[in-house]
Chains A and B, each alone.
Chain A
Amino acid sequence: DSGVTQTPKHLITATGQRVTLRCSPRSGDLSVYWYQQSLDQGLQFLIQYYNGEERAKGNILERFSAQQFPDLHSELNLSSLELGDSALYFCASSVASGRKETQYFGPGTRLLVL
């Protein structure tokens, strides 16, 4: 158990819908990263938050957004869902202490868009 929690574990929804994925980082970790794992794209970085502020963006679609709250949990919002958004979404957290930073992954949320 990495100490990172993600809810829900599974999500099934329809095209055009909106969903919210939640991540609670390890105690003391200020940085949260979101990654998407799909069959065709592999593991891709989406977005990073550090202590409530957006720090970096990767291959995140405009239909997707995220935020990190004062208690440091983070939510990834996916809207106008398409079939191709079906994937495993991971969040990872780290202390973000510079050189020694190691990211620990949550169990992931498996999203299926029908």
Chain B
Amino acid sequence: AQTVTQSQPEMSVQEAETVTLSCTYDTSESDYYLFWYKQPPSRQMILVIRQEAYKQQNATENRFSVNFQKAAKSFSLKISDSQLGDAAMYFCAYRKPYGGSQGNLIFGKGTKLSVKP
């Protein structure tokens, strides 16, 4: 069974600085999707970024980028120019490549990010 591990329960960053959140996963599949979701105090789950395992290029979305190391089964999230609004729980998630009956997400335990002014 696939598992997702986030080894940093809490992280802190100074406003305008850069922070990296770690995620490792375990799977025997060669094709899959990885996601980072953000959960602010409102509890809404917001998709931050998505990576397709068959693509070697790291995904980027504005200030958010990932470092995807397939051989190491590592998928870290880098937040540049951190803003106060980035403070939230961040969840790493894994999904098999096909939707339908195999499309459920498998989540890590989350990393709570604090941003200091």
Contact = CB atoms under 8 A, between A and B. Distances in A.
B50 A50 contact: no
Contact of B99 (A31, A88, A110): A31
Contacts of A56: 101-104
Q: Which bucket holds chain A's interface residue count?
A: 20 to 34
Contact of B91 (A43, A101, A110): A43
B43 to A, nearest CB: 5
Given A42-B107, A42-B110, A90-B45, A99 B101 contact: no
Interface residues of B, number: 25
B99 A94 contact: yes
A48 B43 contact: no
Contacts of A43: 91, 105, 107, 110
Interface in A36-60: 42-45, 48, 50, 55-56, 58
18 contacts: A2-B46, A42-B108, A43-B91, A45-B106, A55-B101, A56-B101, A56-B103, A58-B104, A90-B45, A92-B105, A94-B103, A98-B98, A98-B100, A99-B97, A101-B103, A103-B105, A105-B44, A107-B44
Interface of A: 2, 31, 33, 35, 42-45, 48, 50, 55-56, 58, 88, 90, 92, 94-99, 101-105, 107-108, 110
